[in-house]
Structure 1
Amino acid sequence: MNTNGTRLFVVDAFTDEPFRGNPAGVVILDEQRDDAWMQAIASEMRHSETAFVLPGQDGWWQLRWFTPTVEVDLCGHATLATAHVLGGSTRFRTRSGELTCTVSPDGWIEMDFPADPPTPVSAPPELRRALADDVTVVTVARGVSDLLVEVASPHDVRAARPDLSLLASIPVRGVILTAYDDERDRIVSRCFYPAVGVPEDPVTGSAHCTIGSWWAERLHRDELVAEQLSTRGGTLRLTRQGDRIRLGGRGVTVWHGEIAV
């Protein structure tokens, strides 16, 4: 093995169990690397996002995120994974501004992200066709990056089998299906991003800036528990604070090594 390689970690985010939650690559850089190299590493890793972090001279870290096909403006689970690798309390400069992570007394990492209250819109025809008769749509709203679709029940979220090619044709980053589970008092969701190379994301931190803003307003509550109902599953704690959303989660390192190129 090349003992002078770049350090690489894989962390399962928004879970305290290995092989659940959302896996993210975390690459610790010791020098600036070009975009093509970072995109190639992310494509090789094949996780929904791989984070690349470079230390700054002022105590802040420079953080970027790549899917297997493109760079993205914001990614929650890979930010959580990076903070987990760096020890918890961390400050990042990103394409979405300055982000801070702190460790709560019970060991959860809390990320301070911009809130994203979505605006109700008409459902695109492609959305109706993509969902077919699997779900009952209550409301459709547009956030900064994603289309949020409130459906009638948690069962509808679980049962959905959308046509991913039709979802990819909608001019948004991705499509969120969400409902309130009144029996368990939590928000549930699934998130689909075929347009950026991620058919269904296991647990999506950035989407909860939109989800949390939507449900905090509708339920008249600033503190919520959220669960993403993917096959792997994951749990988040959401706290609305003005125009910010605090996203809380856990992380587990499942392996680490070095990039030899």
Structure 2
Amino acid sequence: MNIKIYQIDAFASQLFKGNPAAVCPLSEWLPDEKMRLIAAENNLSETAFFVQKNGQVELRWFTPKIEVNLCGHATLATAYVFFEEMGYPEDVIRFQTKSGELTVEKRNHMYMLNFPAKHAEPTSAYPQQMLDALKCNPVEILKHTNDFIVVVRTQQEVAQLSPDHTLLKNSGIRAVGVTAVGDEVDFVSRFFAPGSGVDEDPVTGSVHTMLIPYWAKKLNKEVFYAKQLSERGGTLKCKLIGDRVEIGGAAKLFLKGEIYLH
């Protein structure tokens, strides 16, 4: 059995930037463990798998360790494959996922994700190990389910973070984003997901479902630009639309080939 594979740099207008994701079209679903093993072999933060049936596209995402319920950059990468490699004829594609229906609209060279907004709430119930691992001075800490947002004062603080990843993994959290007002953009962030087997994610669409509502309120605006300050880096165009968010970026094809499952 052979499976096509594409690797796309998402939220990037040039290669070796943004967040690389693998995309694997399937004729039918493989066993979950087989998909996880493929994701582990790819050794990227996420591998997307999709199946087309009954006029719909079902989409799932796996890290090297687990299946996740939402992934922005791998959704953008999958949309790129449909629009640029499979000749998808319309401007909007709809994906059926564990987070409900997600759409991606192609606008010139940009791919605009439409995701549910997540409203993180201020909390004092956080593991001290998380802050010890991040080694930062928070202005505010927010929580949504088992994910945290830590707000600091400056872009420089975000850029200079050097977390203790072992301590962060032992803190028991799924993920934490660290954010601040930006110098050249509206806000910046970094994202660490020890509970999903990802020390630092290069560019993360899903965390922006929390960051966009937060910064929309703080900055009193609905449209803005964001930058994720990982080593690879990436820029996102963001918009709050009621209880939804729009997250946009470019993408570049890095490779395409076949996986041999024999």
2:4 maps to 7
CA–CA separation in structure 2 for the residues paired with 1:156 and 1:100: 34
Q: Which amino acid aligns with 1:197?
A: G
Cα 1:127/1:172, change in 2 over 3 Å: closer
Which secondary structure does the structure 2 equivalent of 1:206 belong to? Answer: helix
2:40 maps to 43
Deviation at residue 63 of structure 1 after TM alignment: 0.3
CA RMSD of aligned residues (A): 1.3
1:32 maps to 29
Question: Number of residue pairs matched?
Answer: 253
**What is the TM-score normalised by the length of structure 2?**
0.93
Q: How does 1:17-96 map to 2 (within 5 A)?
A: 17-58=14-55, 60-87=56-83, 89-96=92-99
CA–CA separation in structure 1 for the residues paired with 2:128 and 2:16: 37
Identity %: 41
1:214 maps to 214
Q: After the TM superposition, list the runs of 4 or more consecutive aligned residues in structure 1 that deviate by more than 6 angstroms.
A: none
Deviation at residue 131 of structure 1 after TM alignment: 2.4
> 1:42 touches 1:50 (CA, 8 Å); kept in 2?
yes
1:62-118 per-residue CA deviation (whole Å, 9 max, x = no partner) reads 0000000000000000000000001063110001101011112x3211011010111
Q: How does 1:147-226 map to 2 (within 5 A)?
A: 147-181=148-182, 183-226=183-226
> 1:109 touches 1:248 (CA, 8 Å); kept in 2?
yes
**What is the TM-score normalised by the length of structure 1?**
0.93
> 2:185 touches 2:227 (CA, 8 Å); kept in 1?
no
Deviation at residue 145 of structure 1 after TM alignment: 4.5
Q: Which amino acid aligns with 2:212?
A: G
Q: Which amino acid aligns with 1:66?
A: F
CA–CA separation in structure 2 for the residues paired with 1:73 and 1:127: 23
Q: Structure 2: where are the runs of 5+ without partners?
A: 84-90
CA–CA separation in structure 2 for the residues paired with 1:17 and 1:251: 8
CA–CA separation in structure 1 for the residues paired with 2:22 and 2:58: 16
Q: Structure 1: where are the runs of 5+ without partners?
A: none
> 1:90 touches 1:102 (CA, 8 Å); kept in 2?
yes
